[in-house]
Structure 1
C-alpha cells in the first residue's frame, strides 16, 4: 500500500553497478530501508542520487511491505532545501558523523513524533547558523533524552558522573567521569542550541567531551560502534 511520509536520510550504499540502498528515519514508520533500482545510471529517472545525501529531509511516497525486506520508493521530493550543510566542509563533516550516529543508534520501525521533530528542527538550525563548532556535542547529549538515558540532574552537584547509571554520584568507579572532564561535560547541561555560542570549549576540551559522549552511547546502546567519520570530525575541529 502506498503512503506518504517525511524522512531524513541516514545512510546510503551502492548496490551493484546502478542501484542504491538507502536507510531513512521516517516520520510515520521509524527506520526504513529502500532499494532504488537503477538510480545511478538512469538519466530519465525523477529520483536522483543527490537526494540521498546524509541528513537530507525528504517527502517520500513509498510502498512499505512490513515483511523485513527492502521497501520501494515511488516518488521523492525535497522537504527542506539546505543552504549550507552540503557545501560547508565543517557542516558536511558534522552531517556525516551524526548520520552515522543515528544509523547506529535508532533501530525501531515505529512512530516517534517527538524524536522526528527534534531531528528535523536540529538540522535546520545547523543549516542556518554559523557558530556550529559545538553543535554535535549538544545534539548528542540532547539525543539521549529520546533514547532513554539523559543524565539525571537531581544530583548534578556531585563530583562524579556515572556513565553507566546516567547520574551524578559521590562514589568513583571505572565508569565515572571526574575532575576537569566533568566540569567540561556539565557546560552542556540544560542549554539550547541558541546558547551554544556561550559554551567556552577549546579544541582539547571539545575532544574530551566528545569522547565522553561516545563512551556514554557505547555503554547504553547495544550494537553501537564508533563512527568511521569520528577521526575526520576530530581533525576538523582540532
Structure 2
C-alpha cells in the first residue's frame, strides 16, 4: 500500500555495502524505519543520501507493508530546504545533538500530530533565526510535554525543584532537588516562547550546567535514556 506522508529524519546507518537504514519520525505513524537499498551504489543514490541529514524534513511516498520492521520508499523529496541548518556549523551541531536525543526518546509507532507539529515548527524557527544559543534548552524542556514529564507548575514559587518528582518543593528532600541558577533559569524558561529566548542572557558555563541538569531529568523519567554520545563534541563546538 502506497502512503504519502511528511517525515523528519532522526538517524541513518549504513547497512551492508550499499544500503542505508533511516529512522524517521513520521506524521502518519510516529516512528518508522526505512531501508534504502543500493542508495550508496550510484551517483544518483549519493545525491539522495544528502536528503537524510539530521532533522531534514521530507515528503515521501512509502510502500507500506504491515508487520515489516523496515519499510521501503518509492519517492523522496524535500518538504523544506533549510537555509542555514545544514550550512551553519553551530546550527548543524544543534541538529546533530537533538537528532540523537530524539532517536533515543521517540519510541512510539503511532500518530501524534501535536508532537510532529512541535518538531516541524521549532526546526523552522531554528533555521530562520540568527540568535539561537539557548534554543536547545527550551526545545528539550518543551519536548517533555510530549513525553509526559513536563514540570508541574502549581507551586512554582517554591525554592526547590525536584528532578525526580517533577515538582517544586518548599524544602530540599533528596539529591535531585535543585536550586540556585538552574532553578532560576528553569522558572524563566517555563512558559516562554522561542521568540523571547534572546531576552535570556547566559554564558557557556551556565548553559552547559542547565543542559546537564535537563539531561539528568530525562534519565530520571525515561528508564532507557542515555546521554548522547555527541554531547562532548556539542559542548566543545557550541560553548
Q: How does 1:108-187 map to 2 (within 5 A)?
A: 108-172=108-172, 173-187=174-188
CA distance, structure 1, for counterparts of residue 50 and residue 95 of structure 2: 15
Aligned partner of residue 66 in structure 1, secondary structure: coil
Partner of 1:199: 200
Structure-1-length-normalised TM-score: 0.96
Structure-2-length-normalised TM-score: 0.96
Stretches of structure 2 lacking an aligned partner (at least 5 in a row): none
Greater than 4 Å deviation, 4+ residue runs: 44-47
CA displacement 1:52-76 (0-9 Å, x = unmatched): 0000000110022231521101101
Stretches of structure 1 lacking an aligned partner (at least 5 in a row): none
Deviates more, 1:166-175 or 1:179-188: 179-188
Conserved 8 A contact 2:93-2:238: no
CA distance, structure 2, for counterparts of residue 68 and residue 226 of structure 1: 30
TM-superposed CA distance for 1:41, in Å, is 1.3
CA distance, structure 2, for counterparts of residue 230 and residue 15 of structure 1: 25
TM-superposed CA distance for 1:44, in Å, is 4.3
CA distance, structure 1, for counterparts of residue 66 and residue 55 of structure 2: 24
CA distance, structure 2, for counterparts of residue 33 and residue 187 of structure 1: 37
Conserved 8 A contact 1:55-1:95: yes
TM-superposed CA distance for 1:190, in Å, is 1.2
Q: How does 1:89-108 map to 2 (within 5 A)?
A: 89-108=89-108
CA distance, structure 1, for counterparts of residue 46 and residue 27 of structure 2: 22
CA displacement 1:76-98 (0-9 Å, x = unmatched): 11001101000100000000000
CA distance, structure 2, for counterparts of residue 65 and residue 226 of structure 1: 33
Deviates more, 1:218-227 or 1:121-130: 218-227
How many residues align? The count is 238
CA distance, structure 2, for counterparts of residue 44 and residue 158 of structure 1: 58
Aligned partner of residue 31 in structure 1, secondary structure: strand
CA distance, structure 2, for counterparts of residue 176 and residue 21 of structure 1: 41
